[in-house]
Structure 1
Amino acid sequence: MKKRGFFYRNSLSIVFVSLFLITLVAQAFTGWKENNKELLEDGGHPEAFAVYLHSGHFISATFENFQSEFLQMALYVLLTVGLRQRGSAESKKIDEPEEVDREPVPGPDAPAPVNKGGFMLKLYSNSLSIAFFILFFVSWGLHLYGSWQDNNEQQILKGLPTETLGQFVTEPLFWFETFQNWQSEFLSVASIVILTIFLRQKGSPESKPVDAPHMETGK
């Protein structure tokens, strides 16, 4: 077997992490410019870039997207355990047993929790969905905090009283930001679940083989 280099063996994660970092920096820079423009228009003073990175505007915009993505992945991982979609490449088989459902077997190459058993095995068996839900709740909390801070900064510029976190969370602004992100994530999952019934991408693990029947479920 031909020995592959480090990049080849890790190229998928390297490319996506790189794209994430590039677009995060681009978001921060353009957000800083846009926020300073708004501050000047409202009679405020522009902020330094380092100050902007701690502002409600940046925190809210960043974690508003993070929390919806992590919610999408948490629900996707969890719901695909028991739910099915006939013909979708993203679904388990309708009636056939799947490799992912077999009971874990201890062994020299098995992860440590598998060999330990008990509570650690139970926790590890659900660790992917647990991790995504923790990331979701942390991101949701930071989105709430950033949106609240940004709202109060806008209130101060307008000469209006600031709001407590309890007051802010009952108003529609935060929930409007939240639901507009959630619905787009649910739409994207529904799209890949349904479109993989009929459409193909040769070479992608997210697609069925090109010659697979439409109603064949799974890859």
Structure 2
Amino acid sequence: MPSWVKNNGLLLVNAGLFAAFFGGMVISGVASYNEDQLAHGEEAVSLLAYVQSGHFAEAVFENWESEFLQMAMYVVLTVFLFQKGSSESKPIGKQAEQDEDPRQAKITAKTPWPVRKGGWILVVYEHSLSGLLVILFLFSILMHAVGGTEAYSEEQLAHGQPGVSLWEFMGTSQFWFESFQNWQSEFLAVAVLVGASVFLRERGSPESKPVAEPHRETGA
């Protein structure tokens, strides 16, 4: 196995799984959409037309928004909050490596450029991970609203009702139901992982404590 593939295997496999499942979503999505179209006496659409539709955009981005919200909140909450005994928590009552001030770090040629540069660039870099996730969340929820507006208006018009604007759709119960049904599942999954990692183990995984580690020990 080439060293580059080995060194980036986790990213590559997850990217590959994303591409495979995304393709499956597109294929099954257009089939489901066309079944509904034909059932209502409408014409079926091509795959290209479907991926440009509000129905597709809404389905994609309502899921993406929940994922990025979950990850952004998790990154931020783990800065301040702890869970005794969990591998997902920083140690309680002692300094963690992640808390070290980069301004006091020894600067070398391998030190990230923003740390070497300092100033406002370093301030931004210190919070760049959560910043990126928040931006992706906001973009996703906007695209969910845009796609949902089109899909909702299409359904309204099919039933002889007027279409809605973006802001009107964001004020509907449907928009918030679609959001909340995804958000709740994301935080349930996080809570299960945080709690279960206190007592359960997965040998070889960095998300687990060592198998023989006592339950009360906090952190990986």
TM-score normalised over the length of structure 1: 0.96
Does residue 199 (structure 1) correspond to residue 204 (structure 2)? The answer is no
1:54-203 aligned at under 5 Å gives the runs: 54-104=52-102, 105=105, 106-203=107-204
CA displacement at 1:157 relative to structure 2: 2.1
CA deviation after TM superposition for structure 1 residue 4, in Å: 6.0
Between the aligned residues of both structures, percent identity stands at 44
- Residues 17-32 of structure 1 correspond to what in structure 2 (within 5 A)? 17-32=15-30
Q: Which runs of 5+ in 2 are unaligned?
A: none
> Any runs of at least 4 consecutive aligned residues in structure 1 with deviations exceeding 6 A, and if so which?
none
Secondary structure at 1:201 match in 2:
coil
| Paired position in structure 2 for 1:34 | 32
Name the aligned partner's letter for residue 211 of structure 1: A
Note if contact 1:92-1:98 (Cα within 8 Å) is conserved in structure 2: yes
8 Å Cα contact 1:86-1:215 kept in structure 2: yes
Counterpart amino acid of 2:141? Answer: W
The alpha-carbon deviation at position 154 of structure 1 amounts to 1.3
**Cα-to-partner distance string for 1:8-61 (whole Å, 9 max, x where unaligned):** 111110000000001001001100000011111112111111010010111000
Which residues of structure 1 form unaligned runs of 5+? none
Q: C-alpha distance in 2, partners of 1:110/1:45? A: 59
Aligned residues: 217
TM-score, normalised to structure 2, is: 0.96
> Once superposed, what is the RMSD of the aligned Cα atoms?
1.1
Deviations 1:118-165 (A, max 9, x none): 000000000000000000000010011111111111122223221122
Task: Give the aligned residue type for 1:60.
Answer: E
Work out the CA distance in 2 between the residues paired with 1:15 and 1:115: 33
2:44 aligned partner, one-letter code: P
Give the Cα separation in 2 of the matches to 1:131 and 1:11: 23
3-state SS of paired residue (2:8): helix
Q: Deviations over 1:179-218 (max 9, x none)?
A: 0000000101101100000000000000000000001000
Q: Which moved more, 1:62-71 or 1:160-169?
A: 160-169
How far apart in 2 are the matches of 1:43 and 1:161? 20
Which deviates more, 162-171 or 6-15?
162-171
Q: Distance in 1 between matches of 2:171 and 2:121?
A: 39
